[in-house]
Amino acid sequence: MAPKPDILFIDSSVQKIDFARREALAEKFNIIQYDCKSTEEFKERLKPGGPYSNIVAISRNGWLKAGPLAKQLPFGTDVIPYYPPSLKIICCSGHGHDASDVEAITARGIWYCNTPNACTEAVANTGLFLVLDSFRYLSFAQWCARNDWLQSRDLGQKAVDPTGKTLGIVGLGDIGLGIAQKCEAAFQMEIRYQGPRRKPQAEETLKGGAIYHSSVDEMIPHVDCIVLAAPYTNDMHHLLSKRQFELAKKEGIRVVNVARGKMIDDDALLEALGTGRVVGAGLDVHTDEPGINPQLRDNWRVTVLPHIGVCSATSWENFEKINLDNIEAYFTSGEPITPVNNIKN
Protein backbone atom coordinates (compact mmCIF):
# COMPACT_ATOMS: atom_id res chain seq x y z
CA MET A 1 0.00 0.00 0.00
CA ALA A 2 1.34 3.44 -0.97
CA PRO A 3 2.08 5.79 1.94
CA LYS A 4 -0.43 8.52 2.66
CA PRO A 5 0.49 12.01 1.37
CA ASP A 6 1.86 14.45 3.95
CA ILE A 7 -0.01 17.59 5.03
CA LEU A 8 1.77 20.10 7.27
CA PHE A 9 -0.35 21.87 9.90
CA ILE A 10 1.04 25.12 11.34
CA ASP A 11 -1.18 25.60 14.36
CA SER A 12 -1.44 28.78 16.41
CA SER A 13 -1.72 28.58 20.18
CA VAL A 14 -5.07 30.39 19.76
CA GLN A 15 -7.52 28.51 17.55
CA LYS A 16 -10.55 26.24 17.47
CA ILE A 17 -9.71 22.72 16.30
CA ASP A 18 -12.38 20.63 14.60
CA PHE A 19 -11.16 17.26 15.86
CA ALA A 20 -13.76 15.23 13.98
CA ARG A 21 -12.83 16.74 10.60
CA ARG A 22 -9.13 16.40 11.27
CA GLU A 23 -9.55 12.76 12.22
CA ALA A 24 -11.43 12.16 8.97
CA LEU A 25 -8.66 13.91 7.03
CA ALA A 26 -6.05 11.76 8.79
CA GLU A 27 -7.61 8.65 7.24
CA LYS A 28 -6.38 9.84 3.83
CA PHE A 29 -3.36 11.95 4.74
CA ASN A 30 -0.44 11.86 7.14
CA ILE A 31 -0.81 15.03 9.19
CA ILE A 32 2.48 16.51 10.41
CA GLN A 33 2.50 19.15 13.14
CA TYR A 34 4.88 22.04 12.55
CA ASP A 35 7.23 22.69 15.46
CA CYS A 36 10.10 24.67 13.92
CA LYS A 37 11.75 27.26 16.14
CA SER A 38 12.51 29.49 13.14
CA THR A 39 11.96 29.75 9.39
CA GLU A 40 15.62 28.79 8.95
CA GLU A 41 14.83 25.45 10.58
CA PHE A 42 11.75 25.23 8.35
CA LYS A 43 13.93 25.64 5.28
CA GLU A 44 16.19 22.80 6.42
CA ARG A 45 13.25 20.46 6.94
CA LEU A 46 11.93 21.26 3.45
CA LYS A 47 15.13 20.14 1.75
CA PRO A 48 15.27 16.74 -0.05
CA GLY A 49 15.29 13.97 2.49
CA GLY A 50 13.98 16.23 5.23
CA PRO A 51 10.82 15.57 7.26
CA TYR A 52 8.84 18.09 5.18
CA SER A 53 10.29 17.15 1.79
CA ASN A 54 7.14 15.37 0.58
CA ILE A 55 4.37 17.61 1.84
CA VAL A 56 1.48 18.16 -0.58
CA ALA A 57 -0.30 20.86 1.44
CA ILE A 58 0.29 23.39 4.21
CA SER A 59 -2.48 24.71 6.43
CA ARG A 60 -1.71 27.60 8.77
CA ASN A 61 -4.52 27.71 11.30
CA GLY A 62 -5.85 30.01 14.00
CA TRP A 63 -4.73 33.48 15.07
CA LEU A 64 -1.52 34.30 13.20
CA LYS A 65 -0.64 37.10 15.62
CA ALA A 66 -0.61 34.89 18.72
CA GLY A 67 1.78 32.35 20.20
CA PRO A 68 5.44 31.46 19.60
CA LEU A 69 4.98 31.25 15.81
CA ALA A 70 3.58 34.78 15.44
CA LYS A 71 6.83 36.23 14.11
CA GLN A 72 7.56 33.41 11.68
CA LEU A 73 6.80 34.01 7.98
CA PRO A 74 6.64 30.54 6.41
CA PHE A 75 5.24 31.94 3.15
CA GLY A 76 7.80 34.70 2.72
CA THR A 77 9.93 35.30 -0.36
CA ASP A 78 13.06 33.76 1.16
CA VAL A 79 11.31 30.49 2.08
CA ILE A 80 9.46 29.73 -1.16
CA PRO A 81 12.53 28.46 -3.12
CA TYR A 82 12.81 25.64 -0.56
CA TYR A 83 9.29 24.31 -1.14
CA PRO A 84 9.36 20.75 -2.49
CA PRO A 85 7.87 19.95 -5.95
CA SER A 86 5.17 17.91 -4.19
CA LEU A 87 3.59 21.02 -2.57
CA LYS A 88 0.33 21.89 -4.35
CA ILE A 89 -1.70 24.09 -1.99
CA ILE A 90 -1.23 26.50 0.91
CA CYS A 91 -4.16 27.50 3.12
CA CYS A 92 -3.76 30.36 5.58
CA SER A 93 -6.13 31.93 8.09
CA GLY A 94 -7.11 35.55 7.70
CA HIS A 95 -8.31 38.06 5.12
CA GLY A 96 -5.03 39.83 4.38
CA HIS A 97 -2.09 38.11 2.71
CA ASP A 98 0.59 40.83 2.69
CA ALA A 99 2.95 38.60 4.72
CA SER A 100 2.91 36.00 1.92
CA ASP A 101 4.62 36.34 -1.45
CA VAL A 102 1.62 35.19 -3.47
CA GLU A 103 3.30 36.05 -6.77
CA ALA A 104 6.28 33.79 -6.05
CA ILE A 105 3.99 31.05 -4.74
CA THR A 106 1.95 31.25 -7.97
CA ALA A 107 5.12 31.05 -10.06
CA ARG A 108 5.82 27.71 -8.37
CA GLY A 109 2.38 26.43 -9.44
CA ILE A 110 1.03 26.36 -5.90
CA TRP A 111 -2.49 27.44 -4.92
CA TYR A 112 -2.69 30.01 -2.12
CA CYS A 113 -5.97 30.34 -0.20
CA ASN A 114 -7.05 32.77 2.50
CA THR A 115 -10.25 32.67 4.57
CA PRO A 116 -12.43 35.53 3.29
CA ASN A 117 -15.43 36.46 5.40
CA ALA A 118 -14.17 34.29 8.27
CA CYS A 119 -13.59 37.18 10.68
CA THR A 120 -15.93 39.74 9.12
CA GLU A 121 -18.25 39.93 12.13
CA ALA A 122 -15.45 40.29 14.66
CA VAL A 123 -13.53 42.96 12.74
CA ALA A 124 -16.69 44.84 11.71
CA ASN A 125 -17.77 45.00 15.34
CA THR A 126 -14.35 46.37 16.24
CA GLY A 127 -14.66 48.91 13.44
CA LEU A 128 -18.07 50.02 14.73
CA PHE A 129 -16.58 50.51 18.20
CA LEU A 130 -13.64 52.52 16.86
CA VAL A 131 -15.92 54.75 14.78
CA LEU A 132 -18.00 55.53 17.87
CA ASP A 133 -14.87 56.05 19.98
CA SER A 134 -13.33 58.41 17.44
CA PHE A 135 -16.37 60.68 17.94
CA ARG A 136 -16.97 60.21 21.68
CA TYR A 137 -13.49 59.40 23.10
CA LEU A 138 -14.94 56.78 25.42
CA SER A 139 -11.65 54.92 25.84
CA PHE A 140 -10.10 58.08 27.22
CA ALA A 141 -13.15 58.57 29.42
CA GLN A 142 -12.65 55.08 30.85
CA TRP A 143 -9.03 55.94 31.63
CA CYS A 144 -10.23 59.08 33.39
CA ALA A 145 -12.75 57.10 35.45
CA ARG A 146 -9.95 54.83 36.64
CA ASN A 147 -7.20 57.40 37.07
CA ASP A 148 -8.16 61.10 36.91
CA TRP A 149 -11.86 61.93 36.95
CA LEU A 150 -11.39 65.65 36.41
CA GLN A 151 -9.59 65.24 33.08
CA SER A 152 -12.80 63.81 31.63
CA ARG A 153 -14.43 67.23 31.93
CA ASP A 154 -12.36 68.32 28.90
CA LEU A 155 -14.57 66.06 26.78
CA GLY A 156 -17.61 68.27 27.27
CA GLN A 157 -16.84 70.53 24.33
CA LYS A 158 -15.11 67.94 22.15
CA ALA A 159 -17.26 64.81 22.04
CA VAL A 160 -19.73 64.54 19.15
CA ASP A 161 -22.31 61.88 18.33
CA PRO A 162 -21.78 60.08 15.00
CA THR A 163 -25.51 60.04 14.28
CA GLY A 164 -26.26 61.48 10.85
CA LYS A 165 -22.59 62.00 10.01
CA THR A 166 -20.90 60.78 6.83
CA LEU A 167 -18.70 57.71 6.85
CA GLY A 168 -16.13 57.07 4.14
CA ILE A 169 -14.80 53.54 3.73
CA VAL A 170 -11.69 52.51 1.81
CA GLY A 171 -12.37 48.96 0.64
CA LEU A 172 -16.03 47.92 0.54
CA GLY A 173 -15.29 44.22 0.78
CA ASP A 174 -16.77 41.88 3.39
CA ILE A 175 -15.37 43.78 6.35
CA GLY A 176 -15.83 47.28 4.92
CA LEU A 177 -19.42 46.51 4.01
CA GLY A 178 -20.03 45.02 7.45
CA ILE A 179 -18.83 48.22 9.09
CA ALA A 180 -20.96 50.30 6.72
CA GLN A 181 -24.08 48.27 7.49
CA LYS A 182 -23.55 48.50 11.24
CA CYS A 183 -22.83 52.25 11.20
CA GLU A 184 -25.86 52.91 9.02
CA ALA A 185 -28.13 50.85 11.26
CA ALA A 186 -26.77 52.14 14.56
CA PHE A 187 -26.05 55.78 13.73
CA GLN A 188 -27.95 56.45 10.50
CA MET A 189 -24.66 57.47 8.88
CA GLU A 190 -24.46 58.33 5.20
CA ILE A 191 -22.05 55.95 3.45
CA ARG A 192 -19.44 56.80 0.86
CA TYR A 193 -16.67 54.47 -0.29
CA GLN A 194 -13.57 54.19 -2.41
CA GLY A 195 -12.03 51.23 -4.17
CA PRO A 196 -10.75 50.08 -7.56
CA ARG A 197 -14.30 49.76 -8.88
CA ARG A 198 -17.89 50.51 -8.02
CA LYS A 199 -19.87 47.75 -6.25
CA PRO A 200 -23.59 48.13 -7.06
CA GLN A 201 -24.57 44.89 -5.28
CA ALA A 202 -22.89 46.04 -2.06
CA GLU A 203 -24.59 49.43 -2.36
CA GLU A 204 -27.97 47.72 -2.59
CA THR A 205 -27.50 46.09 0.83
CA LEU A 206 -27.52 49.52 2.44
CA LYS A 207 -30.90 51.17 3.00
CA GLY A 208 -29.57 54.55 2.00
CA GLY A 209 -27.27 53.25 -0.70
CA ALA A 210 -23.68 54.46 -0.96
CA ILE A 211 -21.80 57.01 -3.02
CA TYR A 212 -18.73 55.76 -4.87
CA HIS A 213 -15.50 57.73 -5.27
CA SER A 214 -12.69 56.70 -7.58
CA SER A 215 -9.98 58.11 -5.29
CA VAL A 216 -9.40 58.70 -1.60
CA ASP A 217 -8.50 62.33 -2.26
CA GLU A 218 -11.87 62.84 -3.95
CA MET A 219 -13.77 61.25 -1.04
CA ILE A 220 -12.07 62.85 1.98
CA PRO A 221 -13.57 66.36 1.71
CA HIS A 222 -17.07 64.86 1.96
CA VAL A 223 -16.71 62.63 5.05
CA ASP A 224 -16.60 63.08 8.81
CA CYS A 225 -14.84 59.77 9.44
CA ILE A 226 -12.71 57.58 7.18
CA VAL A 227 -12.27 53.85 7.77
CA LEU A 228 -9.44 51.83 6.23
CA ALA A 229 -10.62 48.26 5.54
CA ALA A 230 -8.71 47.36 2.37
CA PRO A 231 -5.89 44.86 1.78
CA TYR A 232 -2.39 46.27 2.10
CA THR A 233 -0.23 46.43 -1.03
CA ASN A 234 2.79 48.54 -1.92
CA ASP A 235 0.43 50.97 -3.67
CA MET A 236 -1.48 51.42 -0.40
CA HIS A 237 1.58 52.44 1.62
CA HIS A 238 0.86 55.73 3.44
CA LEU A 239 -2.50 55.99 1.71
CA LEU A 240 -3.34 58.59 4.34
CA SER A 241 -0.60 61.18 4.66
CA LYS A 242 -0.15 64.95 4.88
CA ARG A 243 -1.92 65.71 1.59
CA GLN A 244 -4.98 63.64 2.46
CA PHE A 245 -5.39 65.17 5.92
CA GLU A 246 -5.15 68.66 4.43
CA LEU A 247 -8.20 67.83 2.29
CA ALA A 248 -10.39 67.20 5.34
CA LYS A 249 -13.34 69.37 6.33
CA LYS A 250 -12.47 72.44 8.38
CA GLU A 251 -14.18 70.77 11.37
CA GLY A 252 -11.66 67.92 11.07
CA ILE A 253 -11.93 64.24 10.25
CA ARG A 254 -11.86 61.03 12.29
CA VAL A 255 -9.56 58.20 11.17
CA VAL A 256 -10.19 54.50 11.83
CA ASN A 257 -7.81 51.74 10.74
CA VAL A 258 -8.65 48.02 10.93
CA ALA A 259 -6.51 47.13 7.89
CA ARG A 260 -2.72 47.56 8.19
CA GLY A 261 -0.71 50.13 10.10
CA LYS A 262 1.54 51.08 7.19
CA MET A 263 -1.42 52.52 5.31
CA ILE A 264 -1.13 55.62 7.53
CA ASP A 265 1.86 57.93 7.79
CA ASP A 266 2.21 58.23 11.58
CA ASP A 267 4.12 61.51 11.44
CA ALA A 268 1.47 63.07 9.21
CA LEU A 269 -1.29 61.78 11.49
CA LEU A 270 0.38 63.27 14.56
CA GLU A 271 0.82 66.59 12.79
CA ALA A 272 -2.85 66.57 11.72
CA LEU A 273 -3.94 65.78 15.27
CA GLY A 274 -1.90 68.79 16.37
CA THR A 275 -3.45 71.16 13.83
CA GLY A 276 -7.00 69.86 14.25
CA ARG A 277 -7.28 68.42 10.73
CA VAL A 278 -7.76 65.07 12.50
CA VAL A 279 -9.92 65.30 15.62
CA GLY A 280 -10.10 61.63 16.59
CA ALA A 281 -8.63 58.28 15.64
CA GLY A 282 -9.23 54.61 16.33
CA LEU A 283 -6.35 52.29 15.49
CA ASP A 284 -6.39 48.52 15.81
CA VAL A 285 -3.27 48.19 13.65
CA HIS A 286 0.09 49.93 13.84
CA THR A 287 3.16 50.60 11.73
CA ASP A 288 5.67 48.69 13.85
CA GLU A 289 3.77 45.87 15.51
CA PRO A 290 3.99 44.61 18.14
CA GLY A 291 4.04 48.01 19.73
CA ILE A 292 2.52 51.45 19.24
CA ASN A 293 3.98 54.81 18.36
CA PRO A 294 4.37 56.34 21.85
CA GLN A 295 3.03 59.74 20.71
CA LEU A 296 -0.15 58.07 19.44
CA ARG A 297 -0.40 55.96 22.58
CA ASP A 298 -0.23 59.04 24.79
CA ASN A 299 -2.71 61.16 22.79
CA TRP A 300 -6.13 61.00 24.44
CA ARG A 301 -7.90 61.63 21.11
CA VAL A 302 -6.56 58.31 19.81
CA THR A 303 -8.01 54.94 20.77
CA VAL A 304 -5.41 52.21 20.36
CA LEU A 305 -5.97 48.45 20.36
CA PRO A 306 -3.34 45.65 20.08
CA HIS A 307 -4.52 44.29 16.69
CA ILE A 308 -7.39 42.32 18.22
CA GLY A 309 -10.18 43.10 15.74
CA VAL A 310 -10.19 39.46 14.69
CA CYS A 311 -10.17 38.19 18.27
CA SER A 312 -13.35 36.10 18.63
CA ALA A 313 -14.18 32.41 18.95
CA THR A 314 -16.33 32.85 15.83
CA SER A 315 -13.23 33.78 13.83
CA TRP A 316 -11.25 30.76 15.01
CA GLU A 317 -14.09 28.39 14.09
CA ASN A 318 -14.39 29.93 10.64
CA PHE A 319 -10.64 29.84 10.03
CA GLU A 320 -10.54 26.11 10.73
CA LYS A 321 -13.61 25.38 8.63
CA ILE A 322 -12.51 27.28 5.55
CA ASN A 323 -8.94 25.96 5.62
CA LEU A 324 -10.23 22.38 5.80
CA ASP A 325 -12.84 23.12 3.13
CA ASN A 326 -10.10 24.29 0.78
CA ILE A 327 -7.92 21.24 1.37
CA GLU A 328 -10.80 18.83 0.87
CA ALA A 329 -12.04 20.65 -2.23
CA TYR A 330 -8.62 20.72 -3.87
CA PHE A 331 -7.89 17.03 -3.35
CA THR A 332 -11.41 16.13 -4.47
CA SER A 333 -11.90 18.40 -7.48
CA GLY A 334 -8.49 19.87 -8.24
CA GLU A 335 -9.53 23.40 -7.28
CA PRO A 336 -9.91 25.04 -3.85
CA ILE A 337 -12.86 27.19 -2.80
CA THR A 338 -11.26 30.51 -1.82
CA PRO A 339 -8.04 30.90 -3.81
CA VAL A 340 -6.22 34.21 -3.88
CA ASN A 341 -4.37 33.20 -7.03
CA ASN A 342 -5.19 31.12 -10.09
CA ILE A 343 -3.15 28.09 -11.07
CA LYS A 344 -3.77 27.01 -14.64
CA ASN A 345 -3.82 23.26 -15.00
Residue 2's pLDDT is 67
Assess whether pLDDT exceeds 90 at residue 290: no
User: pLDDT confidence of 278, banded at 50, 70, 90?
Assistant: very high
Whether residues 60 and 189 share a domain: the answer is no
Give the number of other CB atoms < 10 A from CB of residue 142.
Answer: 13
pLDDT in tens, 206-258: 999 999 999 999 999 999 999 999 988 889 999 999 999 999 999 999 999 99
Whether residues 77 and 142 share a domain: the answer is no
DSSP class of residue 251?
A: T
Q: Of 121, 289, 328, 335, which residue is the catalytic one?
A: 289
Whether residues 261 and 320 share a domain: the answer is no
Residue 310's pLDDT is 92
Q: Of 95, 213, 277, 307, which residue is the catalytic one?
A: 307
22 given a catalytic annotation: no
Residue 3's pLDDT is 84
Q: Report the C-alpha gap between 140 and 301 in whole angstroms.
A: 7
289 given a catalytic annotation: yes
Q: Of 192, 260, 277, 286, which residue is the catalytic one?
A: 260
Sequence-ordered strand ranges (E) for 87-158:
89-92, 111-113
307 given a catalytic annotation: yes
Whether residues 133 and 102 share a domain: the answer is no
Please say whether the beta carbons of 320 and 15 come within 8 A: yes
Taking residues 1-21, what's their average pLDDT? 92
End-to-end CA distance of the chain: 28
The total of structural domains in the chain comes to 2
Taking residues 301-328, what's their average pLDDT? 95
Q: Report the C-alpha gap between 175 and 309 in whole angstroms.
A: 11
Residue 224's pLDDT is 98
Q: Compute φ and ψ for 129, nearest 5 degrees.
A: -60, -45
CATH number, position 76:
3.40.50.720
Residue 1's pLDDT is 60
Residue 40's pLDDT is 96
pLDDT in tens, 149-171: 998 998 888 899 999 999 999 99
Q: Tell me the residue type at 76.
A: G
Residue 98's pLDDT is 79
Whether residues 211 and 101 share a domain: the answer is no
Q: Which domain holds residue 80?
A: 6-118+313-333
Within a domain: residue 155? Answer: yes
